[in-house]
Amino acid sequence: MKDALLSVGIDVGTSTTQLVFSRLHIRNEANAFSVPEFNITDKEILYRSRIHFTPLLSERVIDAEGVRRIVDSEYESAGISKSQVQTGAVIITGETARKDNAQEVLRALAGYAGDFVVATAGPALESVLAGKGSGAEEYSRKARCSVVNLDIGGGTTNFALFENGRLQDTGCLNVGGRLMKFEKGRCVYLSPVLQPYFTETSDPWEVAVFLSEILEEALELRQGKRYLDFVTDKLCKPAELISFSGGVADLIHHSHPDPFAYGDLGVLLGKAISQSRLCQDEHELQAKETIRATVIGAGLHTTELSGSTIFYRNMDFPLKDLPVARLSPEEEALPQEELIPRIQQKLELLAPDNGPCVLSLQGLSNPRFSELCKLADTISLSMEQRSPLLLCLERDTGKALGQALHCLQPKKPLLCLDSLSLPDSSYLDVAAPIAGGQVLPVVIKTLVL
């Protein structure tokens, strides 16, 4: 059986705003005598938007209506209506995520991004999406090596480290092309992060070289600790290979003759990086995507599938912004009389007044029927006052546990997912079923604005 999802990625960045539409192909890869195993087997980009400058009303305020007009025009150019979109992400990145009206922008886009597009932000998520969209993750997996991707935008540089295709670390520095802005070659803006080191009359080339050295320090290619003043999230570990994405990445090997062509440091910063230790032949890996890496990551890599044995009854899809309360393996092993109040406490912290909340747990490995019934009884007693009942397991026992819970509380809406590992303090979106009701597309979010 084969199915497909239409996905959109929308990236509202410090410098640019862009969209990409993709088709995610889904296939049951299990044989006829096995439990179904649905996977996203192919990802096809259908449409890439033009790259628009992000409209701002001031240094602190995004032009939400201007962003909405950009999205509206690109939907029209692509020949796609908002009702056709089934999954994807709206990402507000870099310094734009810190603007006073970021939430207003998300609300302005909600009506233009389909019923199941999520609005997310945060340097860790940005780093991962750019690393996947740039091709760093894929190369690391195929070449069985470590690759760190530097996504250099207008306000920040996001790091993502992959080892053998697995994400190992992320980080973020306040290093970007728009930390200085120019009009007719004269500086009209100097970011506060640069003010301890430079003034508006400083030589822009010296600033660009300084920022490239900060990146070298961060990846242990140069001695020094100045980079500590620029860390916004945390520091990422170094790797065997370095790849570059983001707007500045386009200018590393394809410089513009006018150093102030974009009214910022971008051209000079790209040139400084090209001459730095970051671009030595033994270190550098050419990225598959540069300026579009994050938006492609948002369109292609945010959606997962809940596994092979899901169970749901009386649920209204889509479900959005569900907080996740995770049990550790040690907590799962507690006696029932201790585990019930522990579950109730975790749920109450995230969803007071019996609001919807996903209980995430590892689940039992090859459980006996009596063990499964005992776990269902524990969960039922813990969530007796809650509706709907929402669970997610790492192991493939979602259907059996869901059926057992349905027998205990047959009138309540119930959803039991499996084959997913949900981080604590994350949020979950669940789309309407596809593939004849056998598959539920989900998006796991690390931060919701």
Report yes or no: 131 and 169 within 8 Å, Cβ to Cβ.
no
Q: What does the buried/exposed string (b/e) look like for 274-284 if buried means 16 or more CB atoms within 10 Å of the residue's CB?
A: bebebeeeebb
Query: Residue 344 — very low, low, confident or very high, per pLDDT cuts 50/70/90?
Result: very high
Q: Where are the beta strands (DSSP E) in 100-156?
A: 118-120, 146-152
Q: What are phi and psi of 114, to 5 degrees?
A: 80, 170
Tell whether 143 and 267 lie within a shared domain: yes
Least confident of 133-147, 361-375, 433-447: 433-447
Tell me which DSSP letter residue 88 carries: E
Per-residue pLDDT of 347-400, as tens digits, reads 998 888 888 999 999 988 888 889 999 999 999 999 999 999 999 999 888 889
Tell whether 152 and 276 lie within a shared domain: yes
Range of the domain at 58: 2-121
| Res 80: pLDDT | 95
Instruction: Point out the domain boundary residue: 121, 151, 170.
Output: 121
Angle at CA 236, nearest 5°, toward 208 and 117? 95
pTM, whole model, 2 decimals?
A: 0.77
Tell whether 89 and 156 lie within a shared domain: no
Q: What does the buried/exposed string (b/e) look like for 374-395 if buried means 16 or more CB atoms within 10 Å of the residue's CB?
A: ebbebbbebbeebebbbbbbbb
Asked if residue 425 is part of any domain, the answer here is no
Tell whether 85 and 15 lie within a shared domain: yes
Asked if residue 355 is part of any domain, the answer here is yes
Tell whether 262 and 371 lie within a shared domain: no
Tell whether 262 and 324 lie within a shared domain: no
Q: What percent of the chain has pLDDT over 70?
A: 92
| Res 447: pLDDT | 47
Asked if residue 361 is part of any domain, the answer here is yes
Asked if residue 381 is part of any domain, the answer here is yes
Per-residue pLDDT of 234-265, as tens digits, reads 788 889 999 999 999 999 999 899 999 999 99
Cα(400)–Cα(326) distance, integer angstroms: 20
SS3 389: strand
Tell me which DSSP letter residue 54 carries: P
Asked if residue 440 is part of any domain, the answer here is no
Helical H segments across 176-302, by residue range: 204-218, 266-274, 293-300
Helical H segments across 313-360, by residue range: 329-332, 336-350
What average pLDDT does the segment 87-91 reach? 83
- β-pair partners for 392: 360, 417
Tell whether 373 and 331 lie within a shared domain: yes
Tell whether 151 and 272 lie within a shared domain: yes
What is the average pLDDT value for the chain, to the nearest integer?
88
Peptide bond into 318 cis (omega under 30): yes
Selected residue with higher pLDDT from 313 and 26: 313
What average pLDDT does the segment 189-197 reach? 95
Asked if residue 278 is part of any domain, the answer here is yes
Tell whether 320 and 267 lie within a shared domain: no
Selected residue with higher pLDDT from 156 and 91: 156
> For residue 154, what is the domain's CATH number?
3.30.420.40
Per-residue pLDDT of 270-308, as tens digits, reads 999 999 999 987 889 999 999 999 899 888 877 777 656
Q: How far is CA 217 from CA 125, 173, 176, 226, 398, in A?
A: 23, 11, 16, 8, 47
What is the number of domains present in the chain?
3
Tell whether 98 and 140 lie within a shared domain: no
Asked if residue 333 is part of any domain, the answer here is yes
Least confident of 9-13, 54-58, 302-306, 411-415: 302-306
Tell whether 321 and 223 lie within a shared domain: no
Asked if residue 426 is part of any domain, the answer here is no
Q: What percent of the chain has pLDDT over 90?
A: 57
Comparing C-alpha atoms, which of 238, 292, 396 is closest to residue 47?
Answer: 292
Tell whether 178 and 224 lie within a shared domain: yes
| Res 81: pLDDT | 92
Kindly state the tokens that stand for 403.
């059926």
| Res 327: pLDDT | 92
